[in-house]
Amino acid sequence: MTIDQDQATDSEKKISWTLTRDENFNFRAAHWSDLHGLLHDALPPDIFFWGHLFLSFSISHDKTSVKVKAKVIQTDENIEIVGDLLVAADGCLSSIRQSFLPDLKLRYSGYCAWRGILDFSGNENSETILGIRKAYPELGNCLYFDLGFKTHTVLYELLNKRINWIWYVNQPEPEMKGNSVTMKVRGDMIQKMHQEAEKVWVPEFAQVMKETKEPFINVIYDSDPLEKIFWDNVVLIGDAAHPTTPHGVRSTNMSILDAEVLGKCLKKWGADNLHSALEEYQSTRLPVTSKQVLHSRRVGRIKQGLVLP
């Protein structure tokens, strides 16, 4: 996508107008399965342990190795794997991070995100698709942000006839069951969301939301930047190292860059100098990701009309 456009919507008159526009955006959007496919095909097949649930780890007394216990979900059998280094890429609720920082609490942002992907393959000329293309003429080449009163949305087209949308809604922190920031939603919640969408957004966008199968909710958290992201031979990367709100639209890039820098540091220092490699990784990435997390937090609060500290 070459364009990034912020627009404002008047909910009563159902009209939108452009606030800012960047025509040199140079942004790539991908569906997870496409990104995972690329990674999978680029890596040796024997490094994947499908259907394994990480349980725990222990660092050897001399701190030269780390042992991981994992459960094979299909057989219920537990296995152990010993390595030089444990790279914790277990996401924003990282249990590995929690073992070093048991008191760290994530910060609830004050809002949740309704999300959905409308697959319109075979329906390219439906009224809904023609309508959304008329209301958002640069769909396919533009990342649209719509600001309403204390709320905002993100809208863009993915490859293979899919439209991705996100709608941020201010609300008290929901009670979460299980270890996930994704919330299962009931039919009545979806219906209420559709009704609200009709009140707030232009009818073409509300219609896309209505036609999307299985929309879901992400509860949005971040964390104040950590002071360190490695302990002996355990290192955090991605959301585990820096839980963030998504308003920089680049949290996956942050994770991928972590992986690249970590790989380069390990290559430079070698397995015999693990500490130096992790030290360099931390000093390269932590100052950058810390700023990005706080910037994203500020952008989110402004777009949701929340008080700034």
Binding site for ligand FAD (CB under 6 A): 53-54, 89-91, 95, 113, 115, 166, 218, 238-240, 246, 249-253, 255
> Which lies closer to ligand FAD via its Cβ, residue 218 or residue 284?
218
Radius of gyration of the chain (CA): 22
CA-to-CA dists, residue 19 to 9, 24, 46, 48, angstroms: 10, 16, 50, 46
C-beta closer to ligand FAD: residue 141 or 218 = 218
Provide the minimum distance between the beta carbon of 90 and ligand FAD in the complex, in angstroms, as a whole number: 4
User: If DSSP states are collapsed to H, E and C, what string results for the chain?
Assistant: CCEEEEEEEECCCCEEEEEEEECCCCCCCCCHHHHHHHHHHHCCHHHCCCCEEEEEEEECCCCCCEEEEEEECCCCEEEEEEECCEEECCCCCCHHHHHHCCCCCCEEEEEEEEEEEEECCCCCCCHHHHHHHHHCCCECCEEEEEEECCEEEEEEEECCCEEEEEEEEECCCCCCCCCCCEECCCHHHHHHHHHHHHHHCCHHHHHHHHHCCCCEEEEEEECCCCCCCEECCEEECHHHCCCCCCCCCCHHHHHHHHHHHHHHHHHHHCHHHHHHHHHHHHHHHHHHHHHHHHHHHHHHHHHCCCCCC
Q: Which residue is nearest to ligand FAD (CB)?
A: 238
Instruction: Between 204 and 239, name the residue whose CB sits nearer to ligand FAD.
Output: 239
CB of 277 to ligand FAD, least distance (A): 20
Nearer to ligand FAD, 269 or 288 (CB): 288
What minimum distance in Å lies between the beta carbon of 254 and ligand FAD? 7
Q: Which is nearer to ligand FAD, 16 or 153 (CB)?
A: 153
| Distance in Å, CB of 196 to ligand FAD, minimum | 18
Q: Cβ 252 to ligand FAD, closest distance in Å? A: 3
C-beta closer to ligand FAD: residue 131 or 259: 259
Min dist CB 171 to ligand FAD, Å, is: 14
Closest separation in Å from C-beta 130 to ligand FAD = 26
- 249/261 with CB nearer ligand FAD: 249
